[in-house]
Amino acid sequence: MVRVVLCNCPPEDANRLARQLVEERLAACVNVIPGVTSFYMWDDELCEDQEHTLLIKTTEERYPELSRRLAELHPYSVPEDIALDSARVAAAYHSWVHETLSDT
């Protein structure tokens, strides 16, 4: 199984977060999607911010540490951290993710 974690962050933090999660072998791969506009309520006010969306690919075993580290590295007090589990994964890609994250 591969776990896909969704997170959003300010544009200026995206590459740093992605790089660090991969270098620390908490994620096999992180895709940074730019130019995202986010709408949400905060203190009863509608907010509209520019963000980047991170698609973080990890494993069930690595996720607790990744989630802890994401909260530490992220500038928000309550960062988005939603984990979606794969139903299927191509065998070669599955092996690559698990080998990448298991040789620490």
Shortest distance (Å) from residue 1 CB to its own copies? 9
- H/E stretch holding 46 reads strand 45-58
Shortest distance (Å) from residue 12 CB to its own copies? 13
CA distance 82 to 87: 16
Binding residues (CB under 8 A) for its own copies: these are: 2-4, 6, 8, 14-15, 18-19, 22-23, 25, 28-41, 46, 48, 51, 53, 55, 57, 63, 67, 70-71, 77-90, 92-93, 96, 100
